[in-house]
Amino acid sequence: MKALPAQMTNRWQHRDEPAPSEGTVYWHMLMRDYPQAVSLARQAQQRLSHFSGLHMTPLRWLHATTLIAGPAADFTEDQLVRMAEAASGLLAAMPPVTVTLGRILYHPEAIMLGMAPTQALAPIRQAARAATRIVMGRENPGDTPRWTPHVTICYSTSDQPAAPIIASLGHQLPSCDIQIDALSLVIQYGPERRWDWSTAATIRLAAKATA
């Protein structure tokens, strides 16, 4: 088991953030269409609401980051359309994936819901990577090969001891199963905390892309 953090730290203290006009293209599994996932995140956020220094993820934009495709300036609108079409073809025969949420993961910069089994989601990430490579001729060199699928409940915005937070939320919420049936191509503009997001396309597993 990964060691628990002793201290929460400010996620954005030393992080370069894009200007409001600058965007980043992501592949996300958006959670807003899964009521059980939203309910679980809401429950966790309510338990943490009396702590300062935590920035709660808006429930509308709860997500599991699948792949960072790269700066939005590198993509034309046509390329985004073709990436969605490529991902749709790759996922056309893949049925929805059942995963379990409930385990709490702690990081100095964030608190998350784990998604298990992680290997069940690997084909969705592989499709995102392949679709990006097919259209762009490359993958984002800054993307990390290691991937732990998770849904971020909140981000840390200050330095404070982690122990009281961990004691308040615990390590496990009531588990729920959801069926992941879509992958979204999302453009995020400006600093993360602005939540200035635009969904470029939604790819349904075992279906076609809808722009």
Alpha carbon distance 99, 116 (integer Å): 5
Q: What's the pLDDT at 210?
A: 47
pTM of the model: 0.93
Band of the pLDDT at 211, cuts 50, 70, 90? Answer: very low
Q: What residues does each domain of the chain span?
A: 23-210
Alpha-helix runs per DSSP H in the chain: 35-48, 77-91, 122-136, 163-169
CATH number of 23-210: 3.90.1140.10
Question: Quick one: what percent of the chain has pLDDT higher than 90?
Answer: 87
Q: What is the longest distance spanned by two Cα atoms in the chain?
A: 49
Q: What's the pLDDT at 207?
A: 64
What does the pLDDT look like over 145-202, one tens digit per residue? 789 999 999 999 999 999 999 999 999 999 999 999 999 999 999 999 999 999 999 9
CB–CB of 101/150 below 8 Å? no
Does the pLDDT at position 73 exceed 70? yes
